[in-house]
Chain A
Amino acid sequence: MNTSALKALVSDWRVAMLIILVILSVVAIFPHYDQNGNMVSNIQYGLDLQQGSWLQLEFRAEVVGFTTDRSLEEFITDLSKKLDTEVILVDPTHLEIRKYYSQEALEPIFTAAGGKINTYQQGVSKSTAEDVKRILENKINTLGTKDAKVNTLTGMNNIARYIRVELAGVDMKQAQEIVGKQGKFEIRVQTVGNQSEHVLFGDAITSVENPSQVPAGSDHWGVGFTLSDSGATAFRNGAIKYGATVDPANHYLVMLLDNNTVYSAPLSEDLAGKLQAGDIRKLYASTGMGKAGTQQATTLEIHLRAGALPVDVTIAGSGGVSAPLGERYKTMALLAGIFALITVGFVIYFRYREPSIVLPMVLINASEIVILLGIISLIKFQLDLPTIAGLIAVVGTGIDQLVVITDEILHEGKVPSPNLYLKRLSRALGIIVVAAATVVIAMLPLALMDLSTLKGFAIITILGVLIGVLVTRPAYGKIIMQILSK
């Protein structure tokens, strides 16, 4: 091929697009040496290719669709008492029950309370799931873990059954400790200056509500919480003993988490009066107005729970990879990719015996991988083992389709005239589009479902097929035509 032919080829829009995409991808991947002389790039690795752990937690709670003839408030209070747990109205027809009951166990209780179950699904509402997510993130952050992700897996009906925690650089034992760990929560009363006396520990708090406005709609925010009977007695005794009920302004209530003050405020006059008269179980800590008030309320809620989750969870699944094993898998995956390309090259050579066909084929194939890795780096997708299997699958289907193009064009061993060539190329692309459509459709359910690790595999396969059909196959058709017509 002479220079002018090469120029014409490169300036063909299909080929030009391929070249531009490859260059952009290399920029996106950005392979370089860091200051320690190690080869690094922008590709992010999943937990099975680096040290890390994941925990998938399942909520021991359920969301129930219901109907009742009674007033909602009465019905919920009644249910809550019968079920011995918090019952929260998600929307006018759905309740979240924060304790695990099977549908069979719930039905008689609902009937007794004057209601009926229409739907039942294990899990929690989206907003509760978000709360849990916040609490977990908070806990992980205080421990200074560098690279953590918490994702709720919410289904189409807005019910989350699972929450997944991924911690890079942490082994499984540590991960379990971090997620399971609770802080030490304490309430003290200020005596003189910044001295204070112990009143109660976090175990006296039986439940914590979500942030709310009191009075409703006033934009005065705070968090309600309930004490156990003995906790309420201890609280009253402490408040009276240290003078908080008679002189609230000089005897603040102080809340501490792991010995750090997280909240400090005087008793309200109203409460001070009531406490003089007797035990109070339901308390409310106000945090102020507006956005700042809401935010403080949210944090205080987490602190009041001392890192405990509003809903019980069990470990549904978990896993972890050590650093050396992650390295080893990375090497193996790289080897597998290179080895796959080389063997494919040999088979193609054996079939066509023509380096000028084999070389473009293998290069086109490799370019697909580069573009895919570029996209992976750009969208910060995590490369893990199933994704690598997907990449290698893309090599497989990719080369298949290049063979279809080549054979279709070379039909009967003759190099066709440009007119006939175009007809054959479009016929070949017709076959390819149908094949590609099937792969995309076959992978779609996996890409849409949260089937843990397989999502990446499916997404990469679909992306690979699309890039193939839209970019690399048309470019190959052009290149092979130039080469054959020389």
Chain B
Amino acid sequence: MGFIKYDIEKYSPKQLVIIPLVILVIALILLALNMASTGMPVTPGIDFSGGTAVTVFSSDTRDQIQATFSEYPLIGISEGVNDGKFLKFSSMDDAKFKSLTSLITQKYPDAKIDQIGESFGKTLQYQALVALLFSFIGMAIVIFLAFRTFVPAVAVILSAFADMVMTAAAMNIVGIPLSLGTVAALLMLIGYSVDSDILLTNRVLKRQGKLNEKLAGAFNTGITMTTTTLAATIALFLVSWFGSVQILMEISAVLLIGLVFDILNTWLTNAGILKWYAQKGGVK
């Protein structure tokens, strides 16, 4: 393809690994800071903290909407394209919520409403964290079984871990909350991120030939893989953005961020460690 030249020969393993390592440390610090201030590494959305999300299509201004819902705990209004408005309410009791629903059905009959109670949100959050943890452990086990050599396997797992941490930190910066949709995206990212890592490791460990040539060949294939996935994700993001489909928008945004970090982590972190391992004599 040749629109990016991957000159891995020029750099030592240390030089390759240093950039992602610095970003990883910064990301971990950011997550820790967020944890210290909010109690969660990534700010939870309504799915986990409880509350009500409402999507309406209306030309009403912000002030008009605020006036309409003055009696309810409205905590945020964000605007999409095509008059799409996303309203957020904090938790309220059943009676208050029922009266809110009838107000919405009367005022904006075309709305979409999603409400999650506080305790249900806690249950979901706990389950989501368990799911993330188990997914990651499961992935690590598969990788170990597949490669059966310590350093290359750890390199793959480390890159996947870095992908998730960096993406999570970026979500805080961009303001994407942790929701059921974004948890799904993070899980998907585990799958995507090991894709190119597996290809890279496989080529380096199991093929004959010069290390740098193998790395360059793997890069050629791997970058195509990531670009196609990126393309599909960008398509999803654009359509859901124009159509104000919030859940798809969040999923695709997280995937987009994650895939960009994946390029970094595969071709710098993972490739760097593999190069070091090969130079040390780990690859015959």
B-contacting residues of A (Cβ < 8 Å)?
A: 48, 56, 58, 161-162, 171-173, 176, 314-322, 324-325, 328-329, 331-333, 335-336, 339-344, 346-348, 350-351, 385-386, 388-389, 392-393, 395-397, 399-400, 403-404, 407-408, 411, 427, 430-431, 434-435, 437-439, 441-446, 449-454, 457-458, 461
Between-chain CB contacts (< 8 Å), 20 pairs = A161-B123, A176-B101, A315-B94, A325-B112, A331-B243, A344-B231, A344-B235, A351-B227, A389-B184, A393-B188, A397-B192, A399-B229, A407-B217, A408-B221, A427-B202, A438-B139, A441-B138, A441-B139, A441-B141, A449-B130
- The answer to whether A441 and B112 touch across the interface, beta carbons within 8 angstroms, is no
Complex Cα distance A439/B229, Å?
15
- The answer to whether B188 and A445 touch across the interface, beta carbons within 8 angstroms, is no
List of B residues within 8 angstroms of A48 by Cβ: 112
Specify the chain B residue showing the minimal Cβ separation from A174.
B105
- The answer to whether B117 and A451 touch across the interface, beta carbons within 8 angstroms, is no
- The answer to whether B236 and A340 touch across the interface, beta carbons within 8 angstroms, is yes
Complex Cα distance A341/B247, Å?
20
Contact of B146 among A346, A393, A397, A434 (CB under 8 A): A434
List of B residues within 8 angstroms of A441 by Cβ: 135, 138-139, 141-142
- The answer to whether A315 and B115 touch across the interface, beta carbons within 8 angstroms, is yes
A-contacting residues of B (Cβ < 8 Å)?
A: 1, 55, 57, 94, 97-98, 101-102, 104-105, 109-117, 119-121, 123-124, 127-128, 130-131, 134-136, 138-139, 141-143, 146, 180-181, 183-185, 187-188, 190-192, 194-196, 198-199, 202, 206, 217, 220-221, 224-229, 231-236, 238-240, 242-243, 245, 247-248, 251-252, 255
List of A residues within 8 angstroms of B134 by Cβ: 444-445
List of B residues within 8 angstroms of A411 by Cβ: 217
List of B residues within 8 angstroms of A331 by Cβ: 243
- The answer to whether B199 and A452 touch across the interface, beta carbons within 8 angstroms, is no
Contact of B231 among A317, A346, A430, A450 (CB under 8 A): A346
Specify the chain B residue showing the minimal Cβ separation from A394.
B232
- The answer to whether A316 and B117 touch across the interface, beta carbons within 8 angstroms, is yes
Q: Is the interface of B mostly helix, strand, loop or mixed?
A: helix
Complex Cα distance A155/B113, Å?
27
- The answer to whether A442 and B187 touch across the interface, beta carbons within 8 angstroms, is yes
- The answer to whether A336 and B192 touch across the interface, beta carbons within 8 angstroms, is no
- The answer to whether B187 and A347 touch across the interface, beta carbons within 8 angstroms, is no
Contact of A435 among B55, B198, B238 (CB under 8 A): B198
List of A residues within 8 angstroms of B221 by Cβ: 403-404, 407-408
Complex Cα distance A317/B51, Å?
9
Q: Given A441-B139, A442-B139, A445-B130, A386 and B247 touching (CB < 8 A)? A: yes
Complex Cα distance A439/B135, Å?
9
- The answer to whether B248 and A315 touch across the interface, beta carbons within 8 angstroms, is no
Specify the chain B residue showing the minimal Cβ separation from A439.
B191
B245–chain A nearest beta-carbon distance, Å: 5
Top 6 closest A-B pairs, CB basis? A332-B243, A316-B120, A441-B138, A439-B191, A336-B239, A445-B131
- The answer to whether B199 and A389 touch across the interface, beta carbons within 8 angstroms, is no
Specify the chain B residue showing the minimal Cβ separation from A324.
B110
- The answer to whether A314 and B117 touch across the interface, beta carbons within 8 angstroms, is yes
List of A residues within 8 angstroms of B139 by Cβ: 438, 441-442
Besides A385-B245, A438-B143, 11 new A-B residue pairs in contact (Cβ under 8 A), listed by A number: A58-B119, A325-B57, A329-B243, A339-B236, A386-B181, A389-B247, A396-B232, A397-B195, A442-B188, A451-B128, A452-B124
Specify the chain A residue showing the minimal Cβ separation from B93.
A314
Specify the chain B residue showing the minimal Cβ separation from A400.
B225
- The answer to whether B115 and A319 touch across the interface, beta carbons within 8 angstroms, is yes
Q: Given A389-B248, A396-B192, A317 and B116 touching (CB < 8 A)? A: yes
Specify the chain B residue showing the minimal Cβ separation from A48.
B112
Complex Cα distance A430/B202, Å?
9
- The answer to whether A396 and B233 touch across the interface, beta carbons within 8 angstroms, is yes
List of A residues within 8 angstroms of B57 by Cβ: 325
Complex Cα distance A397/B243, Å?
24
List of B residues within 8 angstroms of A176 by Cβ: 98, 101
List of B residues within 8 angstroms of A336 by Cβ: 235-236, 239-240, 248
- The answer to whether A339 and B1 touch across the interface, beta carbons within 8 angstroms, is no
- The answer to whether A399 and B228 touch across the interface, beta carbons within 8 angstroms, is yes
A472–chain B nearest beta-carbon distance, Å: 16
- The answer to whether A389 and B113 touch across the interface, beta carbons within 8 angstroms, is no
List of A residues within 8 angstroms of B191 by Cβ: 397, 435, 438-439, 442-443, 461
- The answer to whether B138 and A444 touch across the interface, beta carbons within 8 angstroms, is yes
Q: Given A339-B238, A344-B228, A325 and B206 touching (CB < 8 A)? A: no
Complex Cα distance A427/B202, Å?
9
Complex Cα distance A269/B215, Å?
93
List of A residues within 8 angstroms of B110 by Cβ: 322, 324-325
B267–chain A nearest beta-carbon distance, Å: 15
- The answer to whether A351 and B224 touch across the interface, beta carbons within 8 angstroms, is yes
- The answer to whether A397 and B229 touch across the interface, beta carbons within 8 angstroms, is yes
Complex Cα distance A351/B4, Å?
12
B54–chain A nearest beta-carbon distance, Å: 10
